[in-house]
Structure 1
Amino acid sequence: MVARAELPDGARAMIDAAVAIGDDTKVATVIELARATWPGDSAEIDAIESQWKVELAQRKSAKAAHEAEAVRQAGFFALWSGEGEFGGFKSSGNTDTAGISASLKLERKGLDWAHLVKARVDYQRQDGTTSREQFLASYEPRWQFGKNVFAYGLAQYERNRLQGFDGRYAVSGGLGYKVIDRDGLSLAVKAGPAWRVTQFTDGSSESSLAGLAALDFDWQVLDRLKLTQDTNVVAETGGEAVLIVDGSNTTLNLVTGLDFEVSDRLRARMAYQIDYDSNPPAGKVSTDTLTRATLIYGF
C-alpha cells in the first residue's frame, strides 16, 4: 500500500479493517468517512483510494479470467440451471374449464454459446373425457458473436387438439439483438425464416415456409416483483417458398407473467397467455386464452 505516515493510526486501522472484510461498498464508505473526518489528510487518503482501486481491478480481472477458464473447460452437461413450474389454469375461448399446468426450463450459459430447453403441458379432464391436452417442447441454441448481436436456432413441437392439430413442427434460424441489457431490465428481439409442418386432427397435413419474430422482455419492478413478456409471431406463406408478403396463416403466442419472489428459489407466478391462429380449421375459433397461477422452483 501507499505510505500513510500523516494519517492517524485509528484511520489507517479503520481502512485496513474494511479492506480485510472484502466488501467493496464498505471500503468506499469508510474512505469517504475518513476524508470527511480528516480533511487535512485528503491527499494521502486519495492515494490510498487509488491504490485500493488498482488492487480491486486486478482482483476482479483475475476472478473473471478464472471463471472464464472454468466455463471453457466445463463439459456439456455442466453449467446447467433450471426451474420447474406447477399450478392451475382457467381457460376461455373454445373451452371454459380449469385444469393443471406444468413446465420445465433448462438453460446453459457459456462464454459465447447458450442453450435453452423448454417443455410445457396443460391438461384437463372433465366428465371423464379430456377437454384440454396441450403440449409444447422447444430447443434453442444461441451464439453471441457481438456485444448485443446473436444468432439463434430453434426446433419446436406443439400439440393442441383443441385448436385442431395433432402436431405442429417448426425449425427456424436467424438473428437477434439485445436492445436493453442491464440489471433489472432486459429486452431482446429476434427474427428469421422458419419451416413449419402441421398435422391436423382430420388426418390432413401441410408444410410451409414462414417468418418468425419474437420478443423477450423482463423488468424487475420491485425487489421481489418481476414482469415478464414473451411473444412469438409466425406468418406462413401457404407452402410456397417465396418472400413473405401476403401470408395465408399467422399465429401469435403471447405470454405475460408477474412473478413474486417467495424465497431465493421459490416464486409465485400469475400468467396470461393468448394463442391466436388467423386461419383455424373448420369449427375452431381463432383465439384461445389461458390464465395460470403457478409456483416455480429454481435449481
Structure 2
Amino acid sequence: MAAVVVAPAHAEWKGQGQAGIVFARGNTDTDTANVKLEMAKEAASWTHKFGVAALRAATSGDKTAERYEGMWQSDYKISERDYYWGGVRYEDDRFSGFDYQATATTGYGRKFINTDDTKFVGEVGVGYRRLKTVAQIGPPFIASETSGDAILRGFLGYETKLTDTTSLIDKFTVEAGSDNTFMSNVFALQVKMNEAFALSLGFDVRYNTDPPAGKKKSDTLTTVNLVYAF
C-alpha cells in the first residue's frame, strides 16, 4: 500500500491597509492625508512582520509635511510565550530636522497575555542606530551631521476587544541612545463595519529628546482612517 503524504499549506501574508485624513500638530501644523500598510506571516516557528507608512501635506502649493517609514521584524518562537526577535526600522521625516533615522536591533520578547480577545507583548533588546540631521540654511548656517550610536530598544504592544466589533490597540516604542532618544506611541480605536472594513480613530505621539536646533521635541497626529483587512 502506498503512503499518501499531504504537504502543509504555505502560510499566507495577512494584514491591513488604511488611509484617511490627518490633523498634524507640532513641527507640521496642517491638515493632510496618510496611508499605512501592515502585514504579518506565520510559518512554523517563525513570524515575519512588515510595515510601511507615508504622510504628505501641502498648504497653498507649498509642501508642509513629508514622512516615510518602513520596518521589518522576524520573530523566532522558543516557547508558547517567549521568542527571540530581530528587526530594522527606517524613518525619513523631512520636517523633523532629521534627514533619516535608521536602526537595526535584536532581543527577547514575551507574550504576557495571548488570548482570543486580549494580547499583550513586551520586547527588550539592543542594536545600532545611524542618523543624519538636515542642514540649516540659516542664518546661521548649520551643516548636516551624520552619527551612529548603540541603542537600547523597548516595545509594549496591547490589543483587546471591547465588544464584538470594537477593538483598542496601543503600541509604544522607545529607542534610547547617547545621540537621541526616540519614543513613539500609537493608539487606535477600531470599529468594524463588516468582515473587511473598519473605521479607526487614532492618536500618535512622537518624541525626540535631542532634535536639531529650531525643531520641537514632539509631534502628534490625530487620524480618522478607513481600514481594509485582508
TM over 0.5: yes
Which one scores higher on RCO, CA 8 angstroms, separation ≥ 6?
A: 2
Q: Deviations over 1:36-82 (max 9, x none)?
A: xxxxxxxxxxxxxxxxxxxxxxxxxxxxxx7xx514xx2xxx51112
1:266 to 188, 197, 202: 197
Supply the distance in 1 between the matched residues of 2:178 and 2:99 (Cα, whole angstroms): 21
The structure number with the bigger radius of gyration is 1
Q: What is the identity, as a one-letter code, of the residue corresponding to 1:122?
A: L
1:234 to 172, 175, 195: 175
1:285 to 187, 192, 216: 216
134-143 vs 88-97, which deviates more?
88-97
Relative to its length, the structure with more helix (as a share) is: 1
Question: Structure 2: 5+ residue runs without aligned partners?
Answer: 1-5, 136-143
Supply the distance in 2 between the matched residues of 1:271 and 1:112 (Cα, whole angstroms): 32
1:179 aligns with 2:112: yes
1:196 aligns with 2:129: yes
Percent identity for Structure 1 against Structure 2: 24
SS of the residue aligned with 1:222?
coil
Shift of 1:177: 0.4
Supply the distance in 2 between the matched residues of 1:169 and 1:92 (Cα, whole angstroms): 24
Supply the distance in 2 between the matched residues of 1:227 and 1:83 (Cα, whole angstroms): 15
Shift of 1:237: 2.5
Report matched runs for 1:63-102 at 5 Å: 70-71=8-9, 74=10, 78-102=11-35
Shift of 1:92: 1.1
1:254 to 173, 182, 185: 185
SS of the residue aligned with 2:169?
strand
Shift of 1:167: 1.4
Relative to its length, the structure with more strand (as a share) is: 2
SS of the residue aligned with 2:95?
helix
SS of the residue aligned with 1:163?
coil
Question: Structure 1: 5+ residue runs without aligned partners?
Answer: 1-65, 239-248
Supply the distance in 1 between the matched residues of 2:191 and 2:14 (Cα, whole angstroms): 20
Aligned length: 217
RMSD: 1.2
Q: Which residue matches 1:294? A: 225
Runs of 4+ in structure 1 displaced over 3 angstroms? Answer: none
Supply the distance in 1 between the matched residues of 2:130 and 2:27 (Cα, whole angstroms): 23
Shift of 1:95: 2.6
Supply the distance in 1 between the matched residues of 2:209 and 2:133 (Cα, whole angstroms): 15
Supply the distance in 2 between the matched residues of 1:156 and 1:106 (Cα, whole angstroms): 15
Supply the distance in 1 between the matched residues of 2:152 and 2:108 (Cα, whole angstroms): 12
Give the alignment's TM-score, normalised by structure 2.
Answer: 0.91
Q: What is the identity, as a one-letter code, of the residue corresponding to 2:59?
A: Q
SS of the residue aligned with 2:212?
coil
